[in-house]
Structure 1
Amino acid sequence: MSTYVLIPGAGGVAAFWHLVEDELRRRGRHTIAVDLPGDDPAAGLPQYTDLVVEAVEADGKAVDGDPGGLVVVGQSLGGFTAPLVCARLPASLLVLVNGMIPRPGETPGEWWDATGQAAALRASDVREGRDPDAGFDLATYFLHDLPQSEIDALLKNNRDESDAAFGTPFTLDAWPDVPTRVITGRDDRFFPADFQRRVARERLGITPDEVPGGHLAPLSHPRELVDQLEAYGTGRPEGGPRPSRRG
């Protein structure tokens, strides 16, 4: 039985994963969705990593070996925490979903300019007919493909991300020795799919797999996302790379 460790993005609300958890449990998988204190100005990546590791270690059903193993999944900002967790736990697979892919020493705050996210976003807006100078709008970039029930729940439970995590560096000098996969929402307006493909190739040497949905695909297309997660099996997908260093 695989154990899926689910790390949320900015704000750190574990309930973000509730539809994915439901789908995984229907398929006989065990899940650990970790709530992170995104709004705590004293909590950054080290604290997030500690909380995830502690949650797994405290879970009596967590699987730490084959078959199945421990699958660590990070969404968006969770892409910085997930590899740090894999450096401390015996993970069998690391998956980033619309994730920020870090380089050694980089902070999440530096990632935006380093990857060219703003230019990619602007180009996508122009291409799709949105005003590139309108400024960030939550409904446009995050909520556009969610059912109203999920929008209501998200807005009710949402919390802002403090500056703490964005100012703490990614401390690994090598990518963890864990098979790694990247999943891109093909309708992501915030991290456009072509942008994600470029960053994944440049930083991991990986071509992402695509699923329907935008930046919050776990809430808009949970079944398709779980189909893709389950397609990876218990470890190294056939023919897939296993990156060991970034730089």
Structure 2
Amino acid sequence: MAQSTSSPIKNVVLVHGAFADGSSYAKVIPLLQAKGLHVVSVQIPLTSFDDDVAATKRAIAAQDGPVLLVGHSYGGVVISEAGNESKVAGLVYVAAFAPDSGQNIVDISKSFPKPPGMDTLAPQADGFLLLTEQGVKENFAQDLTESEKDVLVAVQPMTAGAIFGAKISKAAWRDKPTWYVVSSNDRMIAPDQEKSMAKQMNASTTILPASHVVMLSHPKEVAAVIEKATTLTK
């Protein structure tokens, strides 16, 4: 859905994915701020889908005016639900899952090859998950520097395994303009799945030769997509 506005969006709310925190956008945030945008990176707790959506909705409600909502990885599921809030004017998916109404990550991934990163998960006794250090360095962020990979390992929060089975009630992307950044070297989500989801949403699509954490390896390009999306023109 292509729209235009004479008054570009000034508020950008960023939602990180599983096995990560709000610092996922550390390189993108200053680039957006330099363009005069008001940016908030939500720290979703990763304790349950409902908790993550609630945290995102609180951040949206706190903004003064329309919001561009950005989600990475599992954050795409969160924004597909929270994006139904009236303040949300557009959605940007960054190497992210984009389920339709009544679907979850498992449902939409069945027809695609299992990405290598799924074999480097370390289940915890209480139902939470971690990515192993090897998983972070070889599958999650293989195109970052060693020191950057070490930081991602250090800050990784535990993620509730139940979030992967959470179904959204209504897909916000059905009603709002969308953009998608595909990571062609993604080892956490099959790149062909990312392209398929972008096509289903009729999203304005950018393909970058990047790992799953494309916003850390290609921050300028990701920031450019987000900045363009604030104008709501495709």
Alignment TM class, shorter chain as reference: 0.7 to 0.9
Q: Deviations over 1:88-131 (max 9, x none)?
A: 13222101010111022112233321x4242xx47xxxxxxxxx
The aligned amino acid for 1:160 is M
Shift of 1:50: 1.2
Shift of 1:206: 3.8
Which residue is equivalent to 2:83?
86
| Inter-partner Cα distance in structure 2 for 1:12 and 1:89 | 27
Which residue is equivalent to 1:240?
none
Which residue is equivalent to 2:52?
48
Shift of 1:210: 1.4
Structure 1: any 5+ residue segments left out of the alignment?
Answer: 123-131, 238-247
| Inter-partner Cα distance in structure 1 for 2:147 and 2:172 | 41
- Give the structure with higher Rg (CA): 1
| Inter-partner Cα distance in structure 2 for 1:236 and 1:84 | 22
* Structure with higher RCO (Cα < 8 A, 6+ apart): 2
CA contact (8 A) 2:68 2:230 kept: no
Shift of 1:211: 2.7
Shift of 1:162: 1.0
CA contact (8 A) 1:79 1:99 kept: yes
Give the direction of change, closer, same or farther, for the CA distance of 1:180–1:64 in structure 2 (3 Å limit). Answer: same
3-state DSSP of counterpart to 1:145? coil
Give the direction of change, closer, same or farther, for the CA distance of 1:188–1:55 in structure 2 (3 Å limit). Answer: same
Which residue is equivalent to 1:142?
140
| Inter-partner Cα distance in structure 2 for 1:117 and 1:30 | 38
Structure with the larger strand share: 2
The aligned amino acid for 1:200 is A
Which residue is equivalent to 1:26?
34
CA contact (8 A) 2:80 2:99 kept: no
Residues 222-237 of structure 1: pairs in structure 2 closer than 5 A: 222-237=219-234
Shift of 1:172: 0.9
| Inter-partner Cα distance in structure 2 for 1:235 and 1:180 | 9
What is the count of residue pairs matched by the alignment?
Answer: 212
Which residue is equivalent to 1:216?
213
Shift of 1:81: 0.7
Q: 1:14 aligns with which of 22, 28, 32?
A: 22
Residues 49-88 of structure 1: pairs in structure 2 closer than 5 A: 49-58=53-62, 62-65=63-66, 70-88=67-85
Structure 2: any 5+ residue segments left out of the alignment?
Answer: 1-8, 121-133
The normalised TM-score by structure 2 is 0.80
3-state DSSP of counterpart to 1:181? strand
3-state DSSP of counterpart to 1:98? strand
Shift of 1:207: 6.0
The normalised TM-score by structure 1 is 0.76
CA RMSD of aligned residues (A): 2.4
